[in-house]
Amino acid sequence: MVKFSLNKEHERCDSAVVVILTHGLEGEIYGSDGGLVSVQKMIQLLDAVNCPALKNKPKLFFLQACRGQRYDSGHDVIDSGDAIGSANARCKLNSLDENDAAALRRKVPTQADILIAYSTTPGFVSWRNSLRGTWFIQAVCEVFSEYAWKEEVLHLFTRVNDVVASKMSSCGSVQVPEPCSRLLDCMSTMFSKIKLPPGTTFDELIDSAKDWAQIHGLCIRLPEKYENSDEVQLAPFTLLPSPFSKSCFDTAVNLHQAMMAVYHQIAFDYDFMEDALSPVMLSDVFVSKLFGIYRAVMKHGNMMSRLVLNIQRCDYMMQEEPNSLYSLKQVEVNHVAASFAGLGVRCRQWHRLMLSQMVENAKLDLLPENHALETVALGLLSAWRAYGHSEAIILIMVEDELRNFADQRLVEYKIQSLAEFQHVPMRRFRLTHCPGNVAVDRRGRLMLNGVEVAVVYYRTGYLPKHFPNEDVWSAFLQIELSEAIKCPWIGFHLAGMKRMQLLLSNSDTLRSVIDKTKLLVWPVNMKRKILDDDDDEMYRQMKSVTVPMHDLDPSKAGADELMKHVDANADNFVLKPHLEGGGNNFYGQNLIKQLNQLCSNERSAYVLMERIRPPTFDNWIIRANIPAQQTSVVSELGTFGYSLATGQQIISCSRDGGFLLRTKPSKEDEGGVMVGAAALDTPHLLLP
C-alpha cells in the first residue's frame, strides 16, 4: 500500500479501488504475516496528504473482514441459501456500513474523497458461505454487475446493504443493521446527486447560496455594529437539509401539546414552584430576583383569571441506541425569547430551492412544512385581539445588543399579514429604557409614554446582564403586575428553568403533574388523544424523551458517590446553569473545574444532565467570511407551539406549531446560533 500510494502515475488515473479480504478485529485487519494493521492508517495512505496524485479523485475501499471477537472460531453454519458456511475465528458480524465509512471520513477530513464499504459494523462477525464465499462480496458482485452501468455508487451500496441484510445464518444471526445504515446514508446520497449547471464550480454554488440568504433576509447584525442594520452578515445556515428520523420528528410534534399542558400547570402552581426553586435561590441571585417578582404577582390577586401567552419551544436530539436505531431525547424547554421561527422558515425555503434545482430526483415531500413563523405571529395576534382595545400596542421588548433583528422583524411582518386589513400597532423598546417610560395606571393598564400596551413580547430578560440595575428590576415588576398580556409571564419564565426539567425526570413528580393537568379546560376541537383522559400514554411518551438528570445538592443521599462518578466520567455529562441563550454550559474538564470551584451550597445553582449521543452526518455550514467546508455535524430539533390561556383554561392554542433545526460541528459542545456554534437547518425526514 505504501508503494502504491507513492506511484506518481496515479496522476493520470480517474479513480482507485482497493478490495481487501482478510480476517480482522475492530479497527484492525490481519496481514499475510499474521500481524495486525490499523484500518485507519491504511486508508490514510491514499488520502490527500499522503497520496496527492489521487487528490480529489474517488477512492473506494471494500473491506471484507470481521470486526469483533464474540464467536468461537470455525464452527459450521447453514445460511439462508442452504449452503455450508463458517464464521471466522476472530470475528463477529456485519457488512457494508456507510455509517462507519462516514465516521472514518469525519475523523480524517482529508479523506472527503474516500468511501469505505465495510462488510460489517464494529464488534460483529462477517459471515462467509463455505461454497459461495462471503455474503458481502457475493452481494457486491451481483449488484454491481446488474446496476453499475446506470446507478451511482451510493445507490449500489444501498442495494448491497439490502441484499446482505436479508440473509440469515442457521443460528439466526444476521448482518448489517439496515435501518441505521439507510438513515445515515442520506447525506452522502444528496451530496452525490448535486448537479451543478455546466461550467459552474462548487464555490459559485456557495456564493449563490449566500446571495439568496442575503436577499431573503437570512442575516444578522454585526457583533460590533448591533445598533442598526446598515451593515449585516449572513446568519449561519447549512447548504443542504440534514437527515432526521421521521419517527423521532413525529414524536416531538405530537408531544408538544402535552409539554405545554405540563409546563402551564407548573407555572401556576405557587407551592410547587417555591419548593422547587428554594435550593436554587440560596446561591443564584438571578433566580432569587425572578422568584421575588413571581411571588409579588401571585400574591397580587386575580392571577388565575388573567390572560397569559406562552410561545414555547421544546428542544430535542436524536440519540443513537445500542440496537442501531434512534430515540428522541429532550434537551430543554424554552419560554423566553424562543427564537428563529422566522429565519428557520427562510432556511427551509432555501433548502427546498436547493433540492429542486440542484439535486437529481429530490424528494421534496421529505422536507416537512414549517409553520413556526405563523405560529408565533398568530399567538401574538390572538393575544392582542383578546385584549380588546384596537389602539393598544404590541410592545416588543428587545435587548440592548440586538443582532437577531431579521428574525424579530419577520414576526412583526407576519402579524400584520395575518391581520389583513386590520392595523396592529407595534412598538419595539429596550427593557433597559423602561424605567421612567413605563407606568401602570389606576385601572392596572400598562402605559408606555402614555400609550396603552396590550401585549408585552419579551425577546430579552433571560440573562442577568439584561437587568443592569434596580431601576430595570422595578420596571419589570410594574410590567408583570399590569393587566397587559405577557409573553411569557414570569411564571412561564421560571417554569422553563432546568430545575423543573430535573424534577420532571422523576417518575413520581411527572405523574403528579400530569394528573393535575386534567383540571385544565381545553377548546373542544383542540383536544388530542394524548391529553384525552389517557394519563398513562401521556406519561409514557413524556418519560420516553427524558434524559437522566442529577441534583447536585450535597445533602442528597449518594452525593459523594455521584461526584466521584462524574470526576471519572466527565465526558458523559453536561453541567447546566439556570440560564438561557446558549454558551452557558460546561463540558469535560471544564465541567470538573467548575464543580471544584463551587462551594457545596453553590452547586444547587446547576443541574447535571447525562449527555445525549446524537448520530453524526456530513454537511456544509455556510458562515460569513469563512470558507464553507464539508464537516461532521449533529442536529437539534425544536418544536414550536403557542397557548393563550388563563390559569384554568386554554382559550386557544396551536396544532402543528412548526419547528427549528439547528446543526453544529460534532466536535462543538455548545449549540447556540448567536454564540457562533450552530447553524440554521431543515430536517430531511427518513424512516427510522
Query: What single letter denotes the amino acid at residue 622?
Result: I
Q: Which is it for the CA torsion 548, 550, 556, 562, positive or negative?
A: positive
Average pLDDT of the residues in 588-601: 90
Confidence of residue 11 (pLDDT cuts 50, 70, 90): confident
Q: What is the 3-state secondary structure (H, E, C) of 525-575?
A: HHCCHHHCCCHHHHHHHHHHCCCCEEECCCCCCCHHHHHHHHHHCHHHEEE
For residue 488, say if its preceding peptide bond is cis, omega within 30 degrees of 0.
yes
Residues 631 and 490 in one domain: yes
CA dist 374 and 410 (Å) reads: 10
Residues 604 and 627 in one domain: no
Residues 531 and 583 in one domain: no
Q: Are 209 and 234 in contact (CB under 8 A)?
A: no
Cell digits of residue 578: 439556570
Domain, as residue range, for 681: 221-496+513-547+612-686
Give the residue from 225, 239, 479 showing the smallest Cα distance to 354: 239
Residue 79: per-residue pLDDT: 39
Q: Which is it for the CA torsion 491, 493, 497, 501, positive or negative?
A: positive
Cell digits of residue 470: 434596580
Percent of the chain with pLDDT over 90: 56
Cα torsion for 213, 250, 317, 617, to the nearest 10°? -60
Residue 185: per-residue pLDDT: 54
Residue 97, domain CATH: 3.40.50.1460
Lowest mean pLDDT among 321-330, 381-390, 450-459, 521-530: 521-530
CA dist 163 and 180 (Å) reads: 15
Residues 248 and 332 in one domain: yes
| Residue 20 to residues 30, 35, 40, 145, Cα–Cα distance (Å) | 10, 15, 14, 19
pLDDT, tens digit (0-9, with 9 covering 90-100), for 32-87: 888 888 888 888 888 878 888 888 788 888 888 887 755 433 333 333 343 333 33
Q: Which residues sit opposite 608 in a β-bridge?
A: 550, 575
| Residue 531 to residues 37, 267, 355, 649, Cα–Cα distance (Å) | 57, 18, 38, 14
pLDDT of 530 > 60? The answer is no
Residues 585 and 659 in one domain: no
Query: Number of structural domains, the chain?
Result: 3
Average pLDDT of the residues in 495-518: 94
Residues 87 and 226 in one domain: no
Residues 471 and 371 in one domain: yes
Residue 363: per-residue pLDDT: 84
Residue 180: per-residue pLDDT: 39
CA dist 633 and 317 (Å) reads: 12
In the listed set 150, 176, 202, which residue is the last one of a domain according to the structure?
176
Query: What single letter denotes the amino acid at residue 411?
Result: V
Lowest mean pLDDT among 48-52, 110-114, 184-188: 184-188
pLDDT of 195 > 80? The answer is no
In a domain, 415, yes or no: yes
Confidence of residue 559 (pLDDT cuts 50, 70, 90): confident
DSSP string spanning 611-630? PP----EEEEEEETTEEEEE
* 496: phi then psi, degrees, rounded to nearest 5: -85, 0
Residue 586: per-residue pLDDT: 94
Residues 636 and 667 in one domain: yes
Residue 143: per-residue pLDDT: 84
Residue 585, domain CATH: 3.30.1490.50
CA dist 182 and 80 (Å) reads: 23
Which H helix or E strand runs over 319? strand 308-320
In a domain, 502, yes or no: no
Residue 457: per-residue pLDDT: 98
Residues 63 and 96 in one domain: yes
Nearest 5 degrees, angle CA 305-CA 308-CA 311? Answer: 155
pLDDT of 660 > 60? The answer is yes
Q: Phi/psi class of residue 217: alpha, beta or left (left: φ > 0; alpha: ψ in -120 to 50)?
A: left
Cell digits of residue 143: 449488484
pLDDT of 581 > 90? The answer is no
Q: Are 83 and 129 in contact (CB under 8 A)?
A: yes
Give the residue from 108, 107, 65 showing the smallest Cα distance to 87: 65
pLDDT of 585 > 50? The answer is yes
Q: Are 237 and 218 in contact (CB under 8 A)?
A: yes
CA dist 255 and 314 (Å) reads: 9
pLDDT of 182 > 90? The answer is no
CA dist 345 and 347 (Å) reads: 5
pLDDT, tens digit (0-9, with 9 covering 90-100), for 361-416: 788 899 999 999 999 999 999 999 999 999 999 999 999 999 999 999 999 999 99
Residue 150: per-residue pLDDT: 63
| CB count in 10 Å sphere of residue 71 | 20
Give the residue from 602, 604, 660, 669 showing the smallest Cα distance to 636: 660
Task: Report the catalytic residues.
Answer: 23, 66
Q: What is the 3-state secondary structure (H, E, C) of 453-486?
A: EEEEEECCCCCHHHCCCHHHHHHHHHHHHCCCEE
Distance of CA 606 to the CA centre of its chain: 22
Average pLDDT of the residues in 522-539: 68
Confidence of residue 155 (pLDDT cuts 50, 70, 90): low
Which H helix or E strand runs over 84? strand 84-86
Report the SS3 class of residue 67. coil
Q: Which residues sit opposite 448 in a β-bridge?
A: 438, 451
Q: Are 479 and 493 in contact (CB under 8 A)?
A: no
Residue 151: per-residue pLDDT: 64
Residues 592 and 519 in one domain: no
* Highest mean pLDDT pick, 237-251, 324-338, 358-372, 469-483: 469-483
* 512: phi then psi, degrees, rounded to nearest 5: -65, -45
Average pLDDT of the residues in 598-610: 89
In a domain, 189, yes or no: no
Confidence of residue 154 (pLDDT cuts 50, 70, 90): low
Mean pLDDT of the residues in the chain: 85
Number of H helices, E strands in the chain: 21, 32
Residue 174: per-residue pLDDT: 53
CA dist 639 and 657 (Å) reads: 7
In a domain, 507, yes or no: no
In a domain, 366, yes or no: yes
Distance of CA 224 to the CA centre of its chain: 28
Q: Are 265 and 497 in contact (CB under 8 A)?
A: no
CA dist 137 and 294 (Å) reads: 67
In a domain, 183, yes or no: no
Residue 190: per-residue pLDDT: 64
Confidence of residue 167 (pLDDT cuts 50, 70, 90): low
Pick the residue with more confidence: 647 or 53?
647
Report the SS3 class of residue 518. helix
Residue 556: per-residue pLDDT: 83
Q: Are 640 and 372 in contact (CB under 8 A)?
A: yes
Residues 580 and 523 in one domain: no
Report the SS3 class of residue 388. coil
Report the SS3 class of residue 257. helix
CA dist 222 and 669 (Å) reads: 23
In a domain, 315, yes or no: yes
Lowest mean pLDDT among 59-63, 192-196, 198-202, 510-514: 192-196
Pairing of the two strands 133-134 and 128-129? antiparallel
Burial class (CB in 10 A: 0-12, 13-18, 19+), 469: exposed
Residue 157: per-residue pLDDT: 74
Average pLDDT of the residues in 652-677: 90
pLDDT of 583 > 90? The answer is no
Distance of CA 117 to the CA centre of its chain: 28
Which residues, 6 or more positions from 50, have their beta carbon under 8 angstroms from its beta carbon? 5, 44
Residues 517 and 554 in one domain: no
Average pLDDT of the residues in 339-359: 94
In a domain, 380, yes or no: yes
